[in-house]
Each structure stands twice: as C-alpha cells, then as structure tokens.
Chains A and B, each alone.
Chain A
Amino acid sequence: MTNNDTGYIKRTLPKNVGKLGIILFLVGAITGSVGFFLDPARASYSYLNSYLFILSIAVGSLLLVAIEYAANATWSTPFRRMSEFLASSLPLLILLVIPLLLNIQNLFLWSHSEEVAKDHMLQAKSVYLNTPFFSVRVFVILLIWSLFYYLIVKNSRQQDETGDLLMTKKNNKLSIIFIPVFAITVTLQSIDWIMSLESRWFSTMFGVYLFAGITCSALAALTFISVMLKEKGYFHPKITKDHFYSLGTLMFVFICFWGYIAFSQYMLIWYGNLPEETFWFMQRWKGGWKIVSLFIIFGHFLVPFSVLLSHPSKTNFKKLKFISIWILAMHFIDLYWLIMPGMNGNGLNFSFSWMDISFLVATIGIIIYMFNRMFEKYNLIPVKDPKLQRGLDFHL
C-alpha cells in the first residue's frame, strides 16, 4: 500500500499491542474502582497523579506539534505524527476528569465551606478557589485544548489525502495561537490541580516548572516510541541517527531547563526563608520524603544530564530507550512528590498505596490503546506534507 512517493509503506502493529492496552486499562480501572470504593480520599490523590501524568503527555505532545509548525521546523516532520498520536487522549481527558471533579472535597481544603469560614487566608482566595469556578475552568481549558487538537490534527490528516498546502498554512496559524494559549492555560492548571492542594503556598515560577516537566515527558514519550518503531522496522528507512541525535539534544535541553527552574525555585525560597513559602519544601523534607526529594535531584536532572551529555549516547538506541523511560518515570515521581505530601494538610496521613500503581497502569493502557488505534487508522508519517522531504533528507 504505497500511497505516496516517499517510499513509506503503511503497516499495522501486531494485534496484541491493542489487546495489551485494553488489558492494562481494565486491570488498572477495575482495581482503581475498588480503591475508590474502599478509600475514596486516598484514591482521589492517586487518580489525580495519574490523570496529570496522561495530561502531561497528551498536551505536551500537542505542544511539540505546534512548535514544529510555528518554527517551520523540518527535521522533526517525520516524527510529527507520533506526537499527534500521543496527543490523541486529549479529548478523553474531558471524561477522565469527571471522577476528580466529583471528589473535589477529598482533594482540596478550600472546597469545604466550614474550613473556609475558619481560615481568613482561604476566604481571601475563595474568589478564585471555589468549586463552581474551578470546575468551569477545568472544563473550558480541556475543551480549548481538545479543540486545538481536533483542528490541527484534522488539517494534518486531510493533507495526507489531498496534499493541500493550505493545510500547512492553516496549521501554522493555529499553532501560533495555541502556544500563548497553552502558556496561560497550563499555568492555570498547575495552580488549580497542584498548587492549590496546599492552598497557602504560592510560587510565581510554578507554571514554568510544570511546563518543563510536561515537555520533558512528551519528548521522552516521543523518543521512546520512535526508537521502538525504528528498531522494529516500522519507521521510514530514511530516518537516520541524525534525527535521533536531534531528539536526544532536545531532551537534553529540556532536562537542563527543568533543572534550572527547579533549582531557582528551591534556591530562592530557601534563601528568602519566609515561613509562608518554606513550609512547602519542609513538608517534602520530612521522613521518607527526604529520600524522594534527593532522588528527584539525581533522577530528574543529574542522571539524564550525564547520560545524554555526550554525542554518541544521543544516537545510541539502547541508551535513548533507557533514558526516555527513565524520564517518564521521573516525571511520574515528580508529580507524586508535588501532589502526595499535600495530603497531610488535609487531615490524611500519607502512606504508599497500591492504588498509585493501579491508576498508572490504567493510564499506560489508555496511551497504548489510543496509540495503536491511531496507528491502524492513519499514516505513521505525514506522507504529503511539503516539509517531509526536507525532513527525511535532514543531515547534521
């Protein structure tokens, strides 16, 4: 089925990939539902963690697509479809967020009117942090993201059929609008879902921090999948080590960026030493959290930094696979570290729970299933994209 002149042959993944996705999802969803039944408060936190993980990959991938269009990048054009596939769970988030909204009371102190009445700080914030406004914000932002996903991806797919240049121009415009919209919305989401868990804490850098993590994880997911597909021979033969070198470099850059943001945020709060800010980090330095904090410094920055620093390692498939899974895991742990300690302020005592894993399993199932579905339906590379040839011919 060669439907183009680039030499790309469409194939489908083995059947059991889709099955694996469904099985993972079912296992996770069933055990997770049991969790919600047994301990709804604890389950909400686990669910939030996994929800933000899938959100990171989905919206981060859409951002990568948008950046490619906005910057007129050509080397990444052969990879663009994979980011589009990874972003395909974005509209699903509208459904997935419902259990969280039903459990707002379990997550956020500011949603309890009797607590707000006692605390003047919560009263001061109640204009922004209240259940109706919060829910509207969440839905509107998810709708905006889904709309952009729908429009950009529709144009991109339509181009596969028609080869219409207008589609690229349309997507350029959409992407340029999406990027500032993304900056604002992702900041609001970071404040809503994470910062307001400990409603007294505040940091102007926080949106940027989450953005850095999101981009790292989206790039890592893209790298992992493209290396796998390349190794198994699904990918275009003209994709060379130079392409993977560029992907690795991009991951390296965002790891450094994450490290920079994380360090600056910590350093400034530590140096300023104001109790209204430091308590957040103190919370994460108590008991076992100390180990997690240290592990994040090493795992989210130093390990990927040293692995990706040299030129050969960015083209070594084994290392790329390892480090991209590592970065994804670290992003999950980072979210865990951001979310879970907030529990103590809400009258719960944190302890590790099997639910943390079950929701993660369900999330991975969804990503695999959606990817496989998209893979069956659409071409793996944008076959008639005007930039494709330049992208395939890319050499350092």
Chain B
Amino acid sequence: MSLDYSEDMVQFTREPQLVELDDLIAKPVETNPSKKYFLALTFTASLLLIGIICTGITFYFGIGTWGNNQTIGWAFGITNFVFWVGIAHAGTLISAILFLLRQKWRNAISRFAEAMTIFAVMCAGLFPILHMGRPWLGGYLMPYPNSMNLWPNFISPLVWDVFAVSTYFIVSLLFWYLGLIPDFATLRDRSKDKIKKIVYSFFSLGWRHSNRHWRHYEKAYMIFAGLATPLVLSVHTVVSFDFAATIVPGWHSTIFPPYFVAGAVFSGFAMVVIALLVVRKVFDMENIITLNHLEKMNKIILLTGSMVGYAYLMEAFISWYSGVHTEQYSAINRAFGDYAWAYWTMVSCNAFIPQFFWFRKIRRSIPAMFIIVILVLVGMWFERFVIIVSSLSRDFLPSSWTYFTPSLIDLGILIGSFGLFFTLVLVFTRTLPVIAMSEIKGIVKGAQPTHNGGAN
C-alpha cells in the first residue's frame, strides 16, 4: 500500500557484487584496448590535427586569417570559449551540487562528468589565448609585479574572467583528484605491471583505506563541494558579465547571469548524456549507468532548457517594454534580421526541442535522447553565436554594419577543439576508472549501515 517509488531509488538494474564492480570498472584500464578504440582515437586525433594546423596558421599569419572584421571583433573565438566553459559546468554541478543535495544517483556518473569538466575548461582556455593574436603576451593577464610595471585592467570583466576560469580549473582539478585518490589506491593494489604500480602508488599518496583516511577524505570532500558550488555558479556569471556589463544593445541585460548559468548547465548535461550513452554501451556498464540516471539528467535538461526559454521570452518582452529604440531594434534584428536563421535555430533547439522530454517515453528512449541532446548542443553553440555576432554586426554607426562569414581557419579551430576534447576523453577512459569505484560501492546494497540492520 505505497506508491511505487522503488523505481526512483534503483541505482542498478542488476545489483552488482562488490568484487565484480572493481573488475568491471578497472577492466578498461587493465586490459589492452581493442582495434575499435584505436580507430576512434585516430579519428579524434585527426580532428585535433586539423585544429593544430589551423592554430599554427593563426599564429603565423595572425588573426586576419579568421572571419572577424571591423565591427565584428568577437566571433568564433569567443563563441567557442563561452560554449566550452558552458560544457564545463555539468561536471561540478553533478559532483558538488548534487552531492550537497544528497542525490546518491550522482555517484555513478560524477567521475566521468568531472573529467569532462576539466577537458572542457582546457578547450575553453585555448580560445582567449588564440584570440589575443600575440599568445606570448598571455602571461600579462596574471597580476604580478613585473619589470614593465604593467597590470591588468582590473575593472574589466575580461580580467575577472581569467581569474574565475583559472580558479575554477584549479579547484575542479583538485576536487577530481581528491575523489580519485582511493581509486588510485585500488588500482595500485590490483596492478601487476611495475611501471603502472609506481605511477598509481605515487598518485595514491599512500592511501591505505584506513578509517582515519576515510574520515579525512569525507571531510575534505564536503569542504571541496561547498567551495566548488559557489565557484561553478560564479564562473558563468562572470562570463555573462563580459557581455552584460557593456552597453551594447542585446548584451546589456540584467538577466544574463542566471540565464547563462542555466544555459551552461543545460549544454553541459547534454554533453555528459552523449558521452555516457557511448561509455555505458562500450564498457558494459549499462547496469551501473542505468536508464534511470539518464532520465534524471534529461529532466534537468528539460528544466534548464525551460529556464533558458524563459530568458528568451523576458529579453524579447522587456526590450519592447523598455521603450528604448536601440533595444527594440536589436531584438527585432535578432529575430528577423540577417541572423534570423541562427536565432531560430537557437530558439527551437534550446527552448522547443527539450520540451519533448515532458514525455517519459522520450526521456527513456536512447535514440530519441541522443538526437535531442545533440540538437541542444547545436542550439547552445548558436546561442552564443547569436548573442555575440548579431549584436556586434549592428554597430552604433550604421555605415559599418556588416555580416560575418567564418573562414576555413575558424571552422578548423572549432573542429580541432572537439578533437582535443574527445581525444582527452578517450585517453581518460583507458587510464583512469570512469566510474568512481569507492563511491559506487557506497550505494551498493548493504553498504550503508543502518540502525535496523539495513532494512531501510
């Protein structure tokens, strides 16, 4: 006589044995990869190579090889930067915020999502450096008393961005590493290869799974989660300040901070769903990363997608309500001007398509969700493109109004960033456990001692 909530609580479709778990998770790390793996790696590495070549061309000839022009000074570079920073948000959301919210289902997917966070921040970090045109001057972004007596412009949100993203990267990396320590120890104990053993021993910092170790670990994990939570929200807030703090029509909007954060989580979750769909299949982890996990993620995609839709509505409505001509013009120009195709791609992919997730069947259908999340990624890339390019293309001086066409180099670098990301992901799946072994054991039946003998 109770509503069936058991389905929500199922962490595994088939309850695994503890030993079996270690074997399963360590298998990709301990065995030699198959031919398919190398084929996949070759593919992503070729994409990366395209990116490297295009980067080389950019360094040699300069930013002139990009499609940027006189008024549209920010285009693909910043679009890609914001896109990748956005992708990076899912990892910390899953590992820190869901941890604080006591959502145990996160345990199965947190490791993978965190790894993707770190790789996505790496991809993002490349673009501002490339965009500088003189990458060797990048060091001046860091405030330090240098011999030239040069300081960054502290009142510029672009500088806050440098601090926000680099802090975020460091904290995410440490948080990820902290979670990895017990797993490194497990791998160390299992490995028979001498070199591997040395490497894993080094990184496991002498972990012995002792009670005292665990106590410190749990405390540190909690503190990191508490620190990472405001940090993850602040990163995309600061990114949104890059735009909203200016007075460019279409950029200067007070809703930008929460809207960007929602959009970032939205796109990040989409990327994690794509990767998980592949991983669970390839590594036989379908009973650990279950449809329930994917459904929950799809619900969050629906929620954040609707938040983004709310922001679109507000922007359009308030630009009319404001009575300010430039605001009204920028809204109309976005929807019906030169970039209408991009705008409507963005609106349909971000606000409309995720609405399919209202239906339980679609939330639980793997092909359907695969298509939807890919469209979400497309939509979120276009969102940044629309914001940046459509506003810049209509300068305050109508004689300099212009249109942006990306060059081949622009496209090559974008492709290259995907190559870099997926190469890193592939390498990660073969070097580190893709599921947190210690955490997943914590939610296996009987792992949590209770007062009444585990009878719940």
Contacts and interface: CB of A to CB of B under 8 A. Distances in A.
B335 to A, nearest CB: 16
A8 B368 CA distance: 47
Given A260-B233, A268-B241, A386 B314 contact: no
B154 interface: no
A352 interface: no
A208 B252 contact: no
Contact of B314 (A125, A204, A264, A396): A204
Interface in B231-273: 233, 237, 241, 244-247, 252-258
Contacts of B233: 260
Contacts of B237: 260, 264
Nearest to A167: B3
Contacts of B258: 205, 208, 260-261, 264
Interface string A173-199: 000000010011001000100000000
Nearest to A393: B456
A128 B321 CA distance: 8
B193 interface: no
Interface in A73-128: 74, 121, 124-125, 128
B306 interface: yes
A240 B323 CA distance: 53
B163 to A, nearest CB: 16
- Interface SS, A side: helix
A95 B210 CA distance: 65
A204 B241 contact: no
A276 interface: yes
A215 interface: no
Given A168-B3, A387-B3, A264 B323 contact: no
Interface string A322-336: 000000000000000
A268 B1 CA distance: 54
Contact of A125 (B241, B244, B321): B321
B410 interface: no
12 contacts: A168-B3, A180-B306, A187-B310, A191-B321, A200-B323, A204-B253, A205-B255, A256-B230, A271-B241, A272-B244, A274-B247, A387-B3
B315 interface: yes
Interface in A189-242: 191, 200, 202-208
Contacts of B306: 180
Nearest to A180: B306
A203 B3 CA distance: 44
B321 A183 contact: no
Nearest to B230: A256
A276 B314 contact: no
Given A128-B321, A204-B315, A271 B254 contact: no
Interface in B279-333: 306, 310-311, 313-315, 318, 321-324
B323 A208 contact: no
A341 to B, nearest CB: 18
A268 B3 contact: no
B60 interface: no
Contacts of B244: 268, 272
A203 B318 contact: yes
Interface residues of B, number: 32
A265 interface: yes
B245 A208 contact: no
Contacts of A200: 323
B8 interface: yes
Nearest to B255: A204
B146 interface: no
Given A261-B258, A264-B257, A124 B314 contact: no
Place the interface of chain A in its size category. 35 or more
Contacts, number: 88
B5 interface: yes
Interface in A257-314: 260-261, 264-265, 267-269, 271-274, 276
A140 interface: no
Given A163-B1, A260-B233, A202 B257 contact: no
B322 A202 contact: yes
Contacts of B241: 267-268, 271
Contact of B254 (A169, A184, A204, A276): A204
A313 to B, nearest CB: 15
Contacts of B252: 268, 272, 274
**When A and B form their complex, which 5 residue pairs have the shortest distance between CB atoms, in order from nearest?**
A204-B255, A205-B254, A386-B3, A264-B257, A202-B322
A268 B259 CA distance: 14
Contacts of B318: 202-204
A125 B3 contact: no
B147 interface: no
Nearest to B314: A204
A324 B233 CA distance: 26
A252 to B, nearest CB: 11
B5 A387 contact: yes
A268 B256 contact: yes
B218 to A, nearest CB: 13
B264 to A, nearest CB: 15
Contacts of B322: 202, 276
B399 interface: no
A64 to B, nearest CB: 16
Contacts of B34: none
Interface in A362-390: 386-387, 389-390
B239 to A, nearest CB: 13
Contacts of A34: none
Contacts of A169: 3
B211 interface: no
Contacts of B323: 121, 124-125, 200, 202
Contacts of A272: 244-247, 252
Contacts of A268: 241, 244-245, 252-254, 256-257
B321 A72 contact: no
A27 interface: no
Nearest to B456: A393
Contacts of A206: 254
A165 interface: yes
A274 B253 CA distance: 12
B314 A207 contact: yes
Nearest to A269: B254
A202 B255 CA distance: 11
Nearest to A163: B1
Contacts of B2: 165, 386, 389
A74 B102 CA distance: 13
A165 B257 contact: no
A256 B1 CA distance: 40
Contacts of B1: 163, 386
Interface string A4-41: 00000000000000000000000000000000000000
A184 B5 CA distance: 30
A260 B257 contact: yes
Nearest to B248: A272
Given A200-B323, A272-B246, 14 more contacts: A74-B5, A121-B323, A191-B321, A203-B318, A204-B256, A205-B255, A207-B314, A208-B255, A260-B258, A268-B253, A268-B254, A268-B256, A269-B254, A386-B5
